């Protein structure tokens, strides 16, 4: 019993010593500022994966580093100096690694906006006799919603997407669907778009889905059993299924763009119940799988808004350019133009037809600022301008009047009946298109 009591006393004494040591190592001075949370992450990043974390060493570091960050040194008793001298080499090593890691992390944080700002400065400072442009995003730098620092990079990415999702000229050759059938379908979809009161982007995306699907629906993915099954059901997209393709494309586009998209029953009703809900859902699965779930192809509207800003367009210019773009959607001859190029041609023709009275007649239509932000020269834009002019000149005699009737309303400034559309300039430009 004496032995047991003696060992118990010894154990309890040892436990008390351990408790004292633990408390002394955990205690942190109450005075002074609290350590920054960023330092905690820095230490973890430097230790993780290199060596196992020693929790006692972290406690010692916390004890030593916090007083070092104080601006005013506290009064230290002479009796506390020896412990400070013992851990002094550790303090130097920790301070060194912490400072270096802080610097590295600071560099990593600063480099991203610094590189982008450097690019912007290079773009702004670039000035030659041939090309002088202004920074159209200068006034938007204080607006974080417009992300002006990334705007040029975003549009460069959109141009890579339009190259990725190109539509070849004459893609309907050899298919049962004819260009005339496509024009009838798109003209009808413009009326449906108005009846449902959908966003502008929904209409453009609908036509893009139709063209891409008709262009690529014959290519199969061998490993995809469901895709092959649906393709066998809809292998031949004839005139009976073409309206189903158009309705389903708008159904997909509305779910992609709209906040409150129409119900599938609305699309069944608009087709006079020629197709059931099951038909639309099956065609939706076929289109989605054919396009590989990729609907991020940029729209002409995305580029038109940028060009209108670069060219300081008035509302009348922007509305007329939108009229040109929507008329171009209907006609099969225009579907192969990239969205950025067709938008540039539309705003060019609008500037050409409606000029400002304050400027002289010899003004430059396609300025260096427009050439810089659009990446197109005047010669690049003119072929598409001539094709648009040829369409607008003959739109009165065309069977497809949905877009023209849409832009007769006051809401669209009665653009489609303006006298400039029948001016001698339009006829001369359209004649050049017929010659080419």
Residue 135 lies in a domain: no
Q: Identify the band that residue 75 occupies on the pLDDT scale cut at 50, 70 and 90.
A: low
Task: Name the more confident of 110 and 373.
Answer: 373
* Residues 187 and 264 both lie in one domain: yes
Q: Are 171 and 211 in contact (CB under 8 A)?
A: yes
Residue 367 and residue 260 share a domain: no
pLDDT in tens, 382-399: 999 999 999 999 998 999
Which contacts qualify for 228-235: CB closer than 8 Å, 24 or more apart? 230/282, 230/285, 230/286, 230/289, 231/286, 233/282, 233/286, 234/282, 234/283, 234/286
| Residues 121 and 152: beta-carbon distance below 8 Å | no
φ and ψ at residue 372, rounded to 5 degrees:
-70, -50
**Which residue pairs, CB below 8 angstroms and at least 24 apart, start in 26-29?**
26/59, 27/63, 28/62, 28/63, 28/66, 29/66, 29/67, 29/74
Q: Say yes or no: 415 and 306 in one domain.
A: yes
Same domain, 286 and 315: no
Q: Are residues 347 and 283 in the same domain?
A: no
* Residue at 272 is within a domain: yes
CATH number at residue 249: 1.10.472.10
pLDDT of residue 157: 95
- Among 105, 126, 143, give the residue marking a domain's end: 105
In a domain, 125, yes or no: no
Indicate if 171 and 250 belong to the same structural domain: yes
pTM of the entire structure? 0.68
Domain check: are 230 and 307 in the same one? Answer: no
Number of domains in the chain: 3
414: which DSSP letter? T
The pLDDT confidence band at residue 363, using thresholds 50, 70 and 90, is low
Of 242, 272, 290, which marks where a domain is finished? 290
pLDDT per residue as tens digits for the range 216-261: 864 444 445 555 555 545 555 778 899 999 999 999 999 999 999 9
Is residue 122, in this structure, part of any structural domain at all? no
* pLDDT (0 to 100) of residue 86: 44
Q: Which residue's structure tokens are 């960050």?
A: 69
- pLDDT score of 100 more than 70: no
157 within domain boundaries: no
350 and 386 housed in the same domain:
yes
* Residue 207 predicted with pLDDT over 50: yes
Does 3 fall in a domain? Answer: no
Judgement on whether residues 222 and 277 belong to the same structural domain of the protein: yes
Q: Which of 247, 265, 290 is the last residue of a domain?
A: 290
Q: Closest Cα partner for 307 from 247, 348, 266?
A: 348
Same domain, 342 and 420: yes
- CB-based burial of residue 356 (10 Å sphere; 0-12 exposed, 13-18 middle, 19+ buried)? exposed
Chain mean pLDDT for the chain: 76
Does some domain include residue 158? no
Whether 128 maps to a domain, the answer reads no
Tens digits of residue pLDDT in 25-71: 444 444 444 444 333 333 333 333 344 444 444 344 444 444 444 44
- pLDDT of 49 reads 39
Same domain, residue pair 187 and 277: yes
Let me know whether 95 and 175 are in one domain.
Answer: no
Instruction: Provide the residue range defining the domain that includes 94.
Output: 31-105
pLDDT exceeding 90 applies to what percent of the chain? 54
Write down the pLDDT at residue 126.
43
Report which of residues 306 and 8 the model is more confident about.
306
pLDDT of residue 225: 52
SS3 255: helix
């Amino acid at each position: 019993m004496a032995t047991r009591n003696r060992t118990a006393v010894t154990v309890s004494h040892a436990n008390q010593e351990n408790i004292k040591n633990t408390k002394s190592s955990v205690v942190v001075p109450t005075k002074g500022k609290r350590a920054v949370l960023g330092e905690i992450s820095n230490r973890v990043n430097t230790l993780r994966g290199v060596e196992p974390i020693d929790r006692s060493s972290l406690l010692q570091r916390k004890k030593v580093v916090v007083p070092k960050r104080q601006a005013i040194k506290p009064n230290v008793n002479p009796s506390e100096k020896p412990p400070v001298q013992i851990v002094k080499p550790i303090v130097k090593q920790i301070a060194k690694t912490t400072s270096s890691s802080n610097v590295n992390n600071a560099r990593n944080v600063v480099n991203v906006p610094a590189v982008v700002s450097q690019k912007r400065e290079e773009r702004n400072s670039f000035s030659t006799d041939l090309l002088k442009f202004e920074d159209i995003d200068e006034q938007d730098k204080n607006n974080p919603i417009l992300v002006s620092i990334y705007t040029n990079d975003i549009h460069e990415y959109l141009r890579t997407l339009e190259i990725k999702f190109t539509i070849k000229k004459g893609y309907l050759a050899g298919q049962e669907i004819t260009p005339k059938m496509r024009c009838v379908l798109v003209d009808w979809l413009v009326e449906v778009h108005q009846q449902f009161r959908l966003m502008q982007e929904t209409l453009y995306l609908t036509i893009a889905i139709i063209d891409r699907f008709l262009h690529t629906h014959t290519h199969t993915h061998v490993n995809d059993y469901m895709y092959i099954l649906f393709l066998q059901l809809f292998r031949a997209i004839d005139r009976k299924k073409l309206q189903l393709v158009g309705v389903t494309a708008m159904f997909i586009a509305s779910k992609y763009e709209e906040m409150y998209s129409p119900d599938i029953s609305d699309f069944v009703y608009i087709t006079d119940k020629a197709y059931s809900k099951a038909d639309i859902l099956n065609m939706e699965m076929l289109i989605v799988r054919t396009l590989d779930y990729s609907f991020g192809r940029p729209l002409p509207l995305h580029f038109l808004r940028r060009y209108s800003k670069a060219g300081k367009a008035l509302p009348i210019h922007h509305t007329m350019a939108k009229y040109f773009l929507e008329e171009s959607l209907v006609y099969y001859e225009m579907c192969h133009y990239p969205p950025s190029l067709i938008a540039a041609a539309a705003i060019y023709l609008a500037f050409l037809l409606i000029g400002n009275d304050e400027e002289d007649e010899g003004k430059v239509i396609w300025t260096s600022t427009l050439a810089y932000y659009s990446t197109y020269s005047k010669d690049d834009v003119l072929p598409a301008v001539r094709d648009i002019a040829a369409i607008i000149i003959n739109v009165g005699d065309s069977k497809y009047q949905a877009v023209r009737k849409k832009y007769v309303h006051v809401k669209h400034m009665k653009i489609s009946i303006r006298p400039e559309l029948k001016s001698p300039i339009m006829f001369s430009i359209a004649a050049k298109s017929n010659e080419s």
